[in-house]
Structure 1
């Protein structure tokens, strides 16, 4: 099992990063939020999970142990594999995901593409008692909710620039996404902006 990886960033794609480790290029699938913290030509360190299938070995990377644990936890639910688990951790921040499970908030879970009502209900039923909310989860969510649009915009633009996009293009894509979905979480805005920039390149 590969539990962590450190190397120089060779390439950053929409859903993965390639790290040079001892002359070998390792492709690591990651969320837009994780990719937004990386930059080509710099060293990066990620905690990882290796998913082995009969025809493939896929490495998934995360910035912290909590995100990796949630990625593994949601896969214990029938019908949720690595790809859908990655979509869940891309769209929902750890605290938002845990709060939705504890509060049985099906609508929040259904924000994730591929998660229908039945799957969301199964997630709540099977995971509600397996997640633990931190003592400051409520205050953390409140702080997130009160974060101004400018702060959210700056965070996303910074992430896009870190991925190698020009400042004007990053700002234009971010503004377009926020205009359409002003209440979207940072990870969701970043993902949508990346998709938009990928189409216009």
Structure 2
């Protein structure tokens, strides 16, 4: 069992990254929250879970122990595999997910990728008591449960994705793209404008 990996992030992809650990490059699949923390060329430590199948061995990594522990809990639920577990952590913060389960917010959970009504009900049934015991967060109203970030579409979304793939931090480029997108720029023009602004700070 690989408990964690520490090394230099050499490549960033949409749902994974390469981490160089003393000359060995590990491909690690990560949720959106962890992906946003990673920067190419910088060292990172990820808590990991090794999923062994007949045809492959896949390593899943998490920025915090809280995310890791919740992932392990998720894949213990019947019908929830590592890919779906990763999608859940990409769709909600751990705190928001715990609140949704504790409050029995099935409709909120069905908004997560790969989760239908039956899966959502199973999550509540199997995890509610466990989460109540392991968490100190208070039960709040459904309005307090919010998905991660803002879903960007159109030119803004494409520009953000392109800039993130170049190694820029998502939070940084999201704010920049929104400030520069006047509705008249196409994707290429928006990316060029962002690169100019990003270059000024270097």
- Same-fold status (TM-score > 0.5): yes
Which aligned pairs between 1:7-156 and structure 2 lie closer than 5 A?
7-131=7-131, 132-135=134-137
On the 8 A contact 2:102/2:139 being kept in 1, the answer is no
Moved over 3 A (4+): 135-138, 160-163, 165-175
Cα distance, 1:57–1:106 mapped onto 2, change above 3 Å: same
Deviations 1:124-150 (A, max 9, x none): 111111113324675xx96x97xxx9x
Instruction: Provide the TM-score with structure 2 as the length reference.
Output: 0.70
Q: What is the aligned residue count?
A: 162
Query: Any unmatched runs of 5+ in structure 2?
Result: 151-159, 180-190, 192-202
Deviations 1:6-34 (A, max 9, x none): 00110000001100111111000001211
Instruction: Provide the TM-score with structure 1 as the length reference.
Output: 0.71
Deviation at 1:165, TM superposition (A): 4.2
Give the RMSD, CA atoms, in angstroms. Answer: 3.0
Deviation at 1:66, TM superposition (A): 1.2
Q: Which has the higher contact order (CA 8 A, sep 6+)?
A: 1
SS in 2 for 1:67: helix
Q: Which has the higher helix share?
A: 1
Compare CA radii of gyration and give the structure with the larger one: 2
Query: Any unmatched runs of 5+ in structure 1?
Result: 150-156, 176-196
